[in-house]
Structure 1
Amino acid sequence: MLRLSYIGALLLINNMVIAQGKEVPQKIERPKLEDRVRTLPKGSPLTPEKLWELGRVSAEGLSADGTQLIYGVSNYQFAANKSEKNLYVVPVRGGAATPFTQGAGAESVLSVEENGDVLYLYKGQIWQKNLNNGTDKQLTDYADGLENVKISPDGKHILFSKAVLLKKYHSPDKYADLPKSDVYIFDNLDYRHWDTWNNGRFNHPFVATYEHGKIGEAKDIMADEPYYSPQMPFGGAEDFTWAKDSQSLIYVAKKKFGTEYAQSTNTDLYQYDLATGQTVNLTEGMPGYDTNPQYSPDGKLLGWLSMKTDGYEADKNDIIIYEPASKRQVNLTQFWDGTVNSFTWSKDNSTIYFTAPTKGTVQVFSIDVRKGVWNKMAAKIKPLTAGEFDITGIVGETKEGLVLTSTTMTHAPEVYFFGFKNKELRQITTVNDAAYSELAETKVEGRFTKASDGLDLFSWVIYPPNFDPAKKYPVLLFCQGGPQSATTLSYSFRWNFQLMASQGYIVIAPNRRGMPGWGVKWNEQISKDWGGQSIQDYLSAIDDLSKESYVDKNRIAAVGASYGGYSVFMLAGVHEGRFKSLISHCGLFDMTSWYGTTEELFFANHDIGAYWDPANAKSYDAFNPIKHVDKWNTPILIFQGGKDYRVPIGQGLEAFQAAQLKGVKSRLVYLPEENHWVLSGHNAQVWQREFFNWLAETLK
């Protein structure tokens, strides 16, 4: 698959040379759009139904010699309203894929052994099958089922997690004689999280002997501790790792309880010794997030991701390495002006590869981890990949390069090979190529705008199929959530820019203040300034694009979710006639009531602050959408999930009620069983239909 060079295009506009953490701007004039538009092949437009027919690819692992890739494909079944996932094997050098598993359900690879045996988890049990000549064999029959499994390097122990009842918050647990009651009783915060009420059960790591599928008596290594490991709500097996000698393991936990838990991000790495049963905190005195522990292949170094500030979930994410033998520790990315998404070790222990957002994309970088780093206290960081794509994960390393997962705004994730010598991506899996070959192409282009404070503001612009600069098109301003989440070349199965463009809309997605990839200062600027410069960035971006002759200024809408939904609510009161239609999904409408009902208080405390503190008055006045409702006069569609505890239901209901009482054309789409997202396939189809029906009604 041909991929146009993002860096090549960017050099035409604002070439940035990265050298030892410094950026040297080199301005070069950008050619006009008309000179770059090429004739696009005709095809059918992408529809919501076609979007959900695409296979969702997950890279699962590599054979020991790096010649074979095991990957998963999830396919949504409309009739059953569920997905089915199976595993496949394909040569890394290219060739036909062959099915590896075909059971009803979902299989996930645990490990690939030297002899080609693949251990995978299926319906809560461990199964085994050889890559070349094996048959499916169930190894375990553990009564409670297994989750987040990690088998020790010597194969003699197994680590997994399960929930343990430690607090009797739910009435049937507290009052055994009232089994049909359904009451929750709390004395602290952390009473609910994401989309689930706290029932007093805490995820804990368990360790047991393991031999040929037989699991011995499991020991809870956090016995009686009311803390979570893996982390809630999204932690998994990446929160566990074994030492090379199999004598100890590391788990991630935030050992805080109740109200203190809800206000802190201070997770730590705990080392548990199998022989003594003793636990040591390896990150004592490091107050922010410490996550993703990984030993180097030789076991001599331990790496993990770390944030400095307690309570700041979007802080700069650095890579720390620690040498257990000498107790030495160093921050590899301390002087690098960026934040790390994920990392992995090279097979020879000399290099760490990591992914990070940069200039509207996500790319791979490398760090030299040889002895010199201990003396210089700074690592040599080199960019490896560059192009008009996102690298979404590093699967593994071969002698010739890296196996990666990658995506663009117009192609769902597939697995690729990146060659160290030619610096190019070569596609390995082709799950959705046939589907995309029948779709009309949508052009994606980078655009720079001068923000209101004079700084350069980058946006992605997505054009409809067969775009003609001589015609006029309606425009959607996409407002990203987070607020400190990057708008890169990722592929969404709901907020899909290719789908929006395929319905005839130009989409502009600005990299406004608060987005990683443009330096730590740019990323941090949004905290305590939600309604300030970032909102001005959105207005600057849409005003700049509106100067183009092909933009229909009478048909412009603003759309977004979460902080993006908040942005839409804010824009509703300050846009001064720019927008003819608005769509907000799970947006924050009244900052006071939101602060009083959201669950992760560390986020609210850092970015907004408590409403009773006069120092935060601006967040609850000038930057509070409810304070600008007097100027609402634009049709608005409001989506709200019933199980969204991050932005609780009252936010959407308050906004809809205000619009209705103001006489503003408005519609509420309430999804009682959905959380902050829309996970059900049928519900997602309703979401898409309401989304595009509203635009058709209001952008006439």
Structure 2
Amino acid sequence: MNKLTTIAVASMIAFNNGINAQDNVKQNEVNIGKSDIRLGSDLMTPEALWAMGRISSAEASPDGKHIVYQVGYYSVKENKSHHVICITDAKGNDNRQLTTSAKNETDPTWIENGKRIAYLSEGQIWAMNPDGSGRTRLSNIKDGVEGFKFSPDGKKVIIIKSLPFHDIIKKNPDDLPLATGRVATDLMYRHWDHYVESIQHPFVAKVTENGIDSEYDIMKGEPFECPMEPFGGIEQLAWSMDSKSIAYTSRKKTGKDYSISTDSDIYLYNTETGETKNLCKPDDYRPIETDATHTMKDQKVNSAENLANNPGYDTNPQFSPDGKYIAWQSMARDGYESDRNRLCVYNIATGDKTYVTETFDSNVDAFCWNHDSKSLSFIGVWHGCVNMYQTSLKGEVRQLTNDWADYVSISPANDGNKILAMRQSYSAPTDIYVVNPGKEIKKTEIRRITQENKHITDQLSFGKVQQRWVKTTDGKNMLCWIILPSHFDPNKKYPTLLFCEGGPQSPVSQFWSYRWNFQIMAANGYVIVAPNRHGLPGFGSEWNEEISGDWTGQCMDDYLSAIDNAAANLPFVDKDRLGAVGASFGGFSVYYLAGHHDKRFKCFISHDGAFNLESMYTDTEENWFSNWEYEDAYWKKNISANAKKTYENSPHRFIDNWDTPILCIHGEKDYRINANQGMGAFNAARMKGIPAELLIFPDENHWVLKPQNGVLWQRTFFGWLDKWLKK
């Protein structure tokens, strides 16, 4: 074991025992027996997955010589996570863990021109030297800090805090302190997995020799959130290079208006005058009236003349190093959360906006400015892989990498043209890399600088990954990933799983998941077929958009083409032992296929899938989603052919055709697709006499986040598959 692995294991053991890891660790050294990390088998297990460290952020020092990053470890026994801060040199030769207490320490960033590292611990901002010494608490903010970003001159800091919010859910009477009821007066009373009784606001505070204080709310009195729910963070705010302005993201709507619209904007706040300017819309812009029960697709808000006013998602601003521009990710249309994410560059002096990735017909997933301020690097999916690209301010795009991998983050390496990135694949969990772009793809240098889970992955036998292209029923070509079982024997026949992707517009790219992990499926002796069906990004906008209004059409034919043509013709696939699995839209797909598979499959698993689309329309909290995807409310379904087709082909209408064992999984805190959907499917199956199981999580949302629930999920998942596909 290297030093980082040794201390990580020591820290995890200390965390499990509820003690301070510093009591067990001396100068980052401790004797840990091999049994502490020895797996006992070369096949992936749920416990092996949960033993892996998860890198979640990385930042290069101003001089480019070091990288500070965050790793999360999980204890199945304690059912908790523990987050630590690590550092390495830019060559990856000296990986060390800086924080060793049993407390969570997160969000590391360089301050004081690289002399110190700031981080969060117990809801306050702390700082330490790059060697982990000299720890000092910088803030004493009432109600705690949830995110922060220091200004370039180090004299100010943005602080994210939550404020009480009772515009939608009334505050209960003071004389009823134990009352648990909530009185809601409008939509968006809950979001993702919680009731909306607070919102985040950005504050600016002074940084002095005595610490951080005197914070003030830059959106004081505004009933809007920044960062935006449900996943926004500090990346939605940025400092100008002169430390005088802040660009921030906000959707300044509430209630029903919020629930049907994706119209967020970029605002520029002047810290000296207190003035705020909307960079996306003119000063005299007035909201356009919309029909709350009809798709925004053909409403006036998305008319050609209004598209210049950025009615879609605009998020994640970044100032150019020379201070002349602000770039951000921008979707064109209101109400379409999966519209193509473009890269917009705003000229601060002229107010002109230029979209510099128009020739890249896919999403910009993340980006950063290059040091010359004349170009930007970004990552985006194409043909099932998320690679790295570069664009000039004129929109000249070129590809930098061509890997069977997913780059999941990107930032300056502060060393010439080099880029710091995190990368993963079907066969490798996330690690940190330094990329040195070449003039041609083949001359780009990619150097891995962390090996967080090498001590585990070296003990595992992974299944090989293949690509196959198959014809769809409309005559197009579809990419399918094929993952072979561990210890694959070409002379054997294997049970095979059709993987149905969610979204519905999420790519089947080279992701590494700690739940939907293809290598653990391979370790359990299954072939996996993962098609990039119609509706997924990375194959052009036309392919991507064909899913909306057609959930049960071409994309379902694509699933059957994948299993019939990409899999069933392979000599090692057992056509009599096929299963279909999926989550979210993938779970909906499973419910639909259960009534239309013509006895292809021997079992199904649906996680958090939509079962009854009429119920789903009014159950979900983000109403823009169902409006765009279904086109109309179910009581208006006869207005359009797509709406009529959508509701009439809802899976619950085909229970008469169900004849195959099914496992339904759902979280009761899933407010995107409510748990009644999974319960309804399970109840219907059992009432009909079909073998079925329901795995219900009262404390989980659309995902499964707690370690013991995660292990239970995996054991139940494979127990069900083995029961019906390995007889």
TM-score (norm 1): 0.90
Is residue 589 from structure 1 mapped to residue 640 from structure 2 by the alignment? no
- Residues 337 and 520, structure 1, Cα contact 8 Å, conserved in 2: yes
Counterparts of 1:406 and 1:490, CA distance in 2: 9
Counterpart for residue 62 of structure 1: 60
Counterparts of 2:367 and 2:248, CA distance in 1: 17
Is residue 684 from structure 1 mapped to residue 684 from structure 2 by the alignment? no
1:359-397 Cα distance to aligned partner (Å, 9 max, x none):
10000000122xxx2xxxxx1100001111111111323
Is residue 629 from structure 1 mapped to residue 628 from structure 2 by the alignment? no
**Residue identity opposite 2:563 in structure 1:** I
The change in CA–CA distance for 1:270 and 1:400 in structure 2 (over 3 A counts) is closer
Is residue 403 from structure 1 mapped to residue 420 from structure 2 by the alignment? yes
* 2:681 corresponds to which of 629, 645, 655: 655
Is residue 475 from structure 1 mapped to residue 496 from structure 2 by the alignment? yes
* More displaced 10-residue stretch of structure 1: 264-273 or 68-77: 68-77
Counterpart for residue 612 of structure 1: 635
1:521-579 Cα distance to aligned partner (Å, 9 max, x none):
11111000111111110000000110112111111000000000000000001100110
* 2:574 corresponds to which of 552, 556, 562: 552
Deviation at 1:99, TM superposition (A): 1.9
Deviation at 1:132, TM superposition (A): 5.0
Counterpart for residue 87 of structure 1: 85
**Residue identity opposite 1:482 in structure 2:** G
TM-score (norm 2): 0.87
Counterparts of 2:86 and 2:647, CA distance in 1: 55
Counterparts of 1:426 and 1:302, CA distance in 2: 30
* 1:580 corresponds to which of 602, 614, 620: 602
Counterpart for residue 541 of structure 2: 520
- Residues 342 and 356, structure 1, Cα contact 8 Å, conserved in 2: yes
Is residue 364 from structure 1 mapped to residue 364 from structure 2 by the alignment? no
1:373-431 Cα distance to aligned partner (Å, 9 max, x none):
2xxxxx11000011111111113232262221111101100111223343232211011
Counterparts of 1:71 and 1:166, CA distance in 2: 34
Counterparts of 1:174 and 1:542, CA distance in 2: 54
Deviation at 1:154, TM superposition (A): 1.9
1:560-605 Cα distance to aligned partner (Å, 9 max, x none):
0000000000000110011000000010000001111110000110
1:489-527 Cα distance to aligned partner (Å, 9 max, x none):
110000000000110000011001111111111111100
The change in CA–CA distance for 1:313 and 1:400 in structure 2 (over 3 A counts) is closer
**Residue identity opposite 2:580 in structure 1:** A
- Residues 371 and 417, structure 2, Cα contact 8 Å, conserved in 1: no
Is residue 324 from structure 1 mapped to residue 359 from structure 2 by the alignment? no
**Residue identity opposite 1:405 in structure 2:** M
Counterpart for residue 470 of structure 2: 449
Counterpart for residue 339 of structure 1: 363
- Residues 565 and 588, structure 1, Cα contact 8 Å, conserved in 2: yes
SS at match of 2:560: helix
**Residue identity opposite 1:272 in structure 2:** Y
Deviation at 1:168, TM superposition (A): 5.9
- Tell me, which stretches of 5 or more residues in structure 2 are unaligned? 1-39, 282-308
The change in CA–CA distance for 1:219 and 1:112 in structure 2 (over 3 A counts) is closer
Counterpart for residue 174 of structure 2: 176
- Residues 170 and 182, structure 1, Cα contact 8 Å, conserved in 2: no
Q: Output aligned runs, 1:206-605, within 5 Å.
A: 206-212=203-209, 214-284=211-281, 285-369=309-393, 373=394, 379-397=395-413, 398-399=415-416, 401-421=418-438, 422-544=443-565, 545-605=567-627
**Residue identity opposite 1:391 in structure 2:** Y
SS at match of 1:659: helix
SS at match of 2:634: coil
Deviation at 1:619, TM superposition (A): 4.2
Counterparts of 1:416 and 1:494, CA distance in 2: 24
Counterpart for residue 120 of structure 1: 119
- Residues 361 and 540, structure 2, Cα contact 8 Å, conserved in 1: yes
Deviation at 1:43, TM superposition (A): 6.5
How many equivalent pairs are there? 649
**Residue identity opposite 2:435 in structure 1:** F
SS at match of 1:120: strand
* More displaced 10-residue stretch of structure 1: 90-99 or 106-115: 106-115
Counterpart for residue 162 of structure 1: 161
Deviation at 1:250, TM superposition (A): 1.7
**Residue identity opposite 1:136 in structure 2:** R
Counterparts of 1:63 and 1:276, CA distance in 2: 32
Deviation at 1:169, TM superposition (A): 5.3
Counterparts of 1:166 and 1:650, CA distance in 2: 28
**Residue identity opposite 2:380 in structure 1:** A
Counterpart for residue 30 of structure 1: none
**Residue identity opposite 2:652 in structure 1:** I
**Residue identity opposite 2:398 in structure 1:** K
SS at match of 1:269: strand
**Residue identity opposite 1:611 in structure 2:** Y
Counterparts of 2:56 and 2:431, CA distance in 1: 8
The change in CA–CA distance for 1:468 and 1:423 in structure 2 (over 3 A counts) is same
- Tell me, which stretches of 5 or more residues in structure 1 are unaligned? 1-41, 374-378
Counterparts of 2:235 and 2:114, CA distance in 1: 24
- Residues 138 and 212, structure 2, Cα contact 8 Å, conserved in 1: no
Counterparts of 1:274 and 1:70, CA distance in 2: 29
Counterparts of 1:92 and 1:61, CA distance in 2: 11
Counterparts of 1:556 and 1:311, CA distance in 2: 37
**Residue identity opposite 2:53 in structure 1:** G
- Residues 50 and 707, structure 2, Cα contact 8 Å, conserved in 1: yes
Counterparts of 2:177 and 2:135, CA distance in 1: 42
- Residues 59 and 395, structure 1, Cα contact 8 Å, conserved in 2: no
- Residues 508 and 542, structure 1, Cα contact 8 Å, conserved in 2: yes
Counterparts of 1:503 and 1:132, CA distance in 2: 43
Counterpart for residue 304 of structure 2: none
Counterparts of 2:648 and 2:160, CA distance in 1: 46
Counterparts of 2:597 and 2:274, CA distance in 1: 61
Counterparts of 1:674 and 1:348, CA distance in 2: 45
* 1:664 corresponds to which of 690, 699, 721: 690
- Residues 68 and 89, structure 1, Cα contact 8 Å, conserved in 2: yes
Deviation at 1:217, TM superposition (A): 2.7
C-alpha RMSD of matched pairs (Å): 1.6
**Residue identity opposite 1:384 in structure 2:** L
- Residues 166 and 224, structure 1, Cα contact 8 Å, conserved in 2: no
- Residues 61 and 110, structure 2, Cα contact 8 Å, conserved in 1: no
Counterpart for residue 149 of structure 1: 148
- Residues 64 and 113, structure 1, Cα contact 8 Å, conserved in 2: no
Deviation at 1:657, TM superposition (A): 1.0
SS at match of 1:685: helix
Counterpart for residue 29 of structure 1: none
- Residues 425 and 512, structure 2, Cα contact 8 Å, conserved in 1: yes
- Residues 61 and 112, structure 1, Cα contact 8 Å, conserved in 2: no
SS at match of 1:612: helix
Deviation at 1:118, TM superposition (A): 1.4
